[in-house]
A and B are shown apart, each in its own frame.
With several copies, the nearest count.
Chain A
Amino acid sequence: MGLDRKLVRGIVEGAIFASPVPMSVEGLQQLFVDGEKPSRQEVLRAIGELQTAYAERAVELIEVGSGFRFQVRALYAPWVGKLWEEKPQRLSRALLETLAIIAYRQPVTRAEIESIRGVVVSTQIIRTLLDREWIAVAGHREVPGRPALLATTRQFLDAFSLKNLAELPPLAALRDIDSITRDLEQHLAAAKQKELPIEGPVSNE
């Protein structure tokens, strides 16, 4: 019965790395078909083994509220943090569209975003939005795979100079992602002119 222990561990490892959001034990179990599904214990054991295996690595496997994720060790933050420092990467259309859909349809799963946009939403885009804290995981849909439900955050409102979601441009043409992303772009440009670095070191007091 069940899969080889090493294979289970590899799947757990790969899935935690590939998932843009933390993976719960149940979420990990659901990657397996019924006959081969490892028990909760087996998944936790695999996670334990991975934590040991990564003891000497630059990333660590940690548990947070909604599950497990790999995270770069704090030791490397001074260097790795520079990835975010400079270039306020320009927002791609794909990113803006994804964001617009999340803003208007929240909470939504990635699959729903994909079905609206008609193209695959890359992990990088979700990751970037999570990194900027413009979106967050608001829960999980109770269907196989327990996909994360994504929603926008207060930081999103701040970044786009919106007081609340009601201030979003009205969704007159439900399908017209084009005009919505244009609106978002304008909002962002206006917000930028007014001021404030979007994130960045804030001095105390």
Chain B
Amino acid sequence: MASLSAPEAEVAPEIIAEVIARVYGEAVTELPEDLYIPPDALAVVLEAFEGPLDLLLYLIRKQNLDILDIPISRITDQYLAYIDLMQVLHIDLAAEYLLMAALLAEIKSRMLLPKPVQTGDEEDDPRAELVRRLQEYERFKKAAEDLDTLPQEGRDIFPALADAPLKIVVSEELMIGDLPGLLDAMRDILRRAELRQSHVIGSEGLTLEQRLREVLERLQDDSLVMFHELFFLQEGRMGVVVTFMAILELLKQKMITLVQESVFAQIYVRRMDPQSAEAAWA
């Protein structure tokens, strides 16, 4: 068996010259050049490899070798030294790494055997299958890197979403379909207004037209205002009724719209179209 051939000399000082592993019976006293890595880091390094093909590719690429022409003996030795070291360090190796070690050793030994006289040119180089697999793996390794450069949702790309419109939108629909709901809301407000009735201020000539303007003013920006917020309970029953009539009138004229997320939810009021409403009241 060939001894470790690749890394001559250049032993890092911290590497102690003692038998650190046995590769096929040969004592290994020096770490191969590629292995000048603090042993603690080895676990990390191994994790960096996606498998035996990846490790093998690394060994080949690191030495600027062509996959098509792997010096199998050298690479095999390096690979085995690597694997052996892992075992010495009690790093759990996936079975695939050992399988590859066996395959490499087999290829190496086949290449060392004298070639039988060939009958045809069909006989494969023992490396052919391995080379094919390495090439194939390398393609996808590259493809995976390419994939990672694409803009990725959540990393580079953020979808822009808007909330759904409030679910039930009604102007005339609510007038007809959900009038009971509206009246219910009204009844609540009236009842509360009555509770305040005690200090009613004498009605000071509240006109419907004036109230229409006021309601629209309240709705100036695009915001939603809660239905009951449009009422001033201090105004008592009369004021509340006038406001209610103003709201009905504005609904009829489609100046405002009522919005309700679900049936028993709050009713909101909003201006339909600020521009045209502005124009109408200017």
A and B touch in the complex (CB under 8 A): yes
Chain B hits for A104, CB < 8 A: 140, 143
Chain B hits for A202, CB < 8 A: 64-66, 262-263
- Structural contact, B139 and A174, CB atoms closer than 8 A: yes
A111 within 8 Å of B by Cβ? Answer: no
Could you mark each residue 97-127 of chain B with 1 if its beta carbon is under 8 Å from any beta carbon of chain A, else 0? 0001000000000010000000001000101
The CA of A93 and the CA of B49, in the complex, are separated in Å by 9
Chain A hits for B274, CB < 8 A: 55
- Structural contact, A77 and B94, CB atoms closer than 8 A: no
A162 within 8 Å of B by Cβ? Answer: yes
| Chain B residues numbered 39-79 whose CB sits less than 8 Å from any CB in chain A | 50-54, 64-69, 71-73
B135 within 8 Å of A by Cβ? Answer: yes
Chain B CB within 10 A, most for which of A100, A122, A131: A100
| Chain B residues numbered 119-160 whose CB sits less than 8 Å from any CB in chain A | 121, 125, 127-128, 131-133, 135-160
Chain B hits for A198, CB < 8 A: 69, 71
User: Interface size of B by Cβ–Cβ distance < 8 Å?
Assistant: 73
Stretch in contact with the other chain, from A36-44, A139-147, A181-189? A181-189
Q: With A51-B222, A70-B163, A202-B263 given, is the CB distance from A77 to B51 under 8 Å?
A: no
Q: With A99-B144, A184-B128 given, is the CB distance from A160 to B151 under 8 Å?
A: yes
- Structural contact, B50 and A117, CB atoms closer than 8 A: yes
The CA of A195 and the CA of B169, in the complex, are separated in Å by 26
- Structural contact, B68 and A200, CB atoms closer than 8 A: yes
- Whole-angstrom distance between the Cβ of B127 and the nearest chain A Cβ: 8
User: Interface size of A by Cβ–Cβ distance < 8 Å?
Assistant: 78
- Whole-angstrom distance between the Cβ of A142 and the nearest chain B Cβ: 24
Q: With A175-B135, A181-B132 given, is the CB distance from A116 to B159 under 8 Å?
A: no
A165 within 8 Å of B by Cβ? Answer: no
The CA of A18 and the CA of B155, in the complex, are separated in Å by 12
A180 within 8 Å of B by Cβ? Answer: yes
Q: Which residues in A have some Cβ–Cβ distance to B below 8 Å?
A: 14, 17-18, 20, 51, 55, 59-60, 62-63, 69-78, 80-81, 83-84, 87-88, 90-91, 93-94, 96-97, 99-101, 103-104, 115-120, 122-124, 127, 131, 158-162, 168-169, 171, 173-175, 177, 180-181, 183-185, 187-189, 191, 197-205
- A sample of 20 cross-chain residue pairs with beta-carbon separation below 8 angstroms, ordered by A number, consists of A17-B160, A69-B162, A70-B163, A71-B157, A74-B157, A91-B148, A100-B144, A103-B147, A117-B50, A117-B137, A118-B100, A119-B96, A127-B161, A169-B147, A174-B139, A184-B68, A189-B121, A200-B66, A202-B66, A204-B177
